[in-house]
């Protein structure tokens, strides 16, 4: 009975004891590390500041990429549904304005395609491919900084190693082997800088490859959605229309622009789809792109 009670109480006694001992050892180790850094001189302090800054930058990039590389960030579902309804109803100008108001991969790529919709299917596909490549390059560029950190941080640690070795050999040259304790302290300082550089480089490289694959999957997902949105657009019926910033100028009837004046109200009618002014006999509607029957 007593043994069973001791076994039950033993974990509650050992766990706080282990934690207390670990905290004491960690505090002592931290104090010794700080002392080594301070006594190492300005160059050693500079190396450790660089290592600390590199680790902070690495964590910042990992958090940002974990958020921005998600499929829902590149192609938000509410935006996809809104664009699907607008393009399906023929409101291409409103679709372009929706893309222009949103700043993400899907909106930027689709906006380039909608701006060329009056030039035909081939021009739209070319615009989508060009801007898709551009946006994908920007995403991969952010991820490449993790690779740079993975390469630079061991070099910074190696710099600390070289400086520490210089100090170790200086001690060895001044006192010979008569003071092994000080020599061992210098060598431990060397190993600590190297280990810190590798401690930063390893997770940086792991995160780099994870986010590289994650970005590729998200880009393919967004490109599939873009191709699905534009696949049913009637390019032949929309030949010559302008979508984008110059859309209002393109909506003026050709006869009025040739005369150099405003369009004649008597020769205009309202589009049954968008209620916009359209010249009699004109098809498709310059505002929404709907095919009109006169």
CA–CA separation, 28 vs 218, rounded Å? Answer: 47
Q: Please write the tens of the pLDDT for every residue from 246-285.
A: 764 344 343 333 334 444 443 456 676 666 677 766 777 7
On whether both 202 and 56 belong to a single domain, the answer is yes
What is the domain extent for residue 183? Answer: 34-236
On whether both 282 and 191 belong to a single domain, the answer is no
Q: 277 pairs with which residues across the strands?
A: 270
Q: Please write the tens of the pLDDT for every residue from 216-246.
A: 999 999 999 999 998 888 888 888 888 877 7
On whether both 203 and 229 belong to a single domain, the answer is yes
On whether both 162 and 53 belong to a single domain, the answer is yes
Q: Please write the tens of the pLDDT for every residue from 111-149.
A: 988 888 888 888 888 989 999 999 999 888 888 999 999
Residue 286 domain flag: yes
On whether both 160 and 132 belong to a single domain, the answer is yes
On whether both 216 and 82 belong to a single domain, the answer is yes
On whether both 220 and 281 belong to a single domain, the answer is no
SS3 38: helix
DSSP letters for 174-204: HHGGG-HHHHHHHHHHHHHHHHHHHHHHHHH
On whether both 278 and 228 belong to a single domain, the answer is no
On whether both 231 and 258 belong to a single domain, the answer is no
On whether both 260 and 200 belong to a single domain, the answer is no
Residue 3 domain flag: no
Let me know how long the chain is: 294
Q: Which residue has the tokens 């596909």?
A: 125
Q: Specify the number of domains making up the chain.
A: 2
Q: How confident is the model at residue 35 (pLDDT cuts 50, 70, 90)?
A: low
Residue 12 domain flag: no
On whether both 199 and 282 belong to a single domain, the answer is no
On whether both 272 and 138 belong to a single domain, the answer is no
pLDDT tops 50 at residue 20: no
pTM of the full predicted structure? Answer: 0.63
């Amino acid at each position: 009975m007593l043994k069973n009670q001791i076994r039950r109480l033993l974990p509650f006694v050992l766990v706080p004891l282990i934690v207390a001992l670990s905290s004491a050892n960690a505090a002592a180790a931290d104090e010794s590390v700080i002392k080594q850094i301070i006594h190492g001189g300005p160059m050693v302090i500079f190396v450790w500041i660089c290592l600390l800054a590199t680790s902070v930058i690495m964590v910042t990039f990992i958090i940002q990429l974990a958020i921005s590389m998600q499929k829902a960030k590149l192609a938000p579902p509410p935006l996809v549904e809104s664009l699907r309804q607008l393009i399906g109803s023929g409101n291409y100008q409103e679709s372009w304005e929706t893309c222009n108001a949103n700043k993400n991969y899907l909106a930027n790529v689709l906006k380039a395609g909608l701006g060329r919709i009056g030039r035909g299917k081939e021009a739209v596909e070319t615009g989508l491919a060009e801007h898709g490549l551009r946006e994908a390059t920007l995403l991969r560029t952010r991820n490449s900084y993790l690779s740079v950190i993975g390469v630079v941080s061991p070099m910074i640690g190696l710099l600390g190693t070289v400086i520490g070795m210089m100090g170790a050999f200086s001690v060895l040259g001044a006192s010979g082997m008569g003071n092994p304790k000080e020599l061992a302290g210098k060598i431990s300082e060397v190993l600590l800088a190297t280990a810190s550089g590798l401690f930063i480089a390893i997770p940086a490289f792991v995160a780099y490859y994870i986010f590289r694959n994650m970005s590729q999957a998200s880009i393919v997902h967004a490109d599939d959605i873009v191709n699905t949105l534009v696949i049913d657009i009637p390019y032949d019926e929309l030949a010559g229309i302008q979508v984008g910033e110059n859309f209002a100028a393109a909506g003026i009837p050709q006869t009025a622009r040739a005369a150099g004046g405003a369009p004649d109200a008597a020769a205009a009618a309202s589009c049954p789809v968008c209620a916009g002014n359209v010249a009699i006999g004109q098809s498709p509607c310059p505002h929404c792109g709907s095919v009109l029957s006169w």
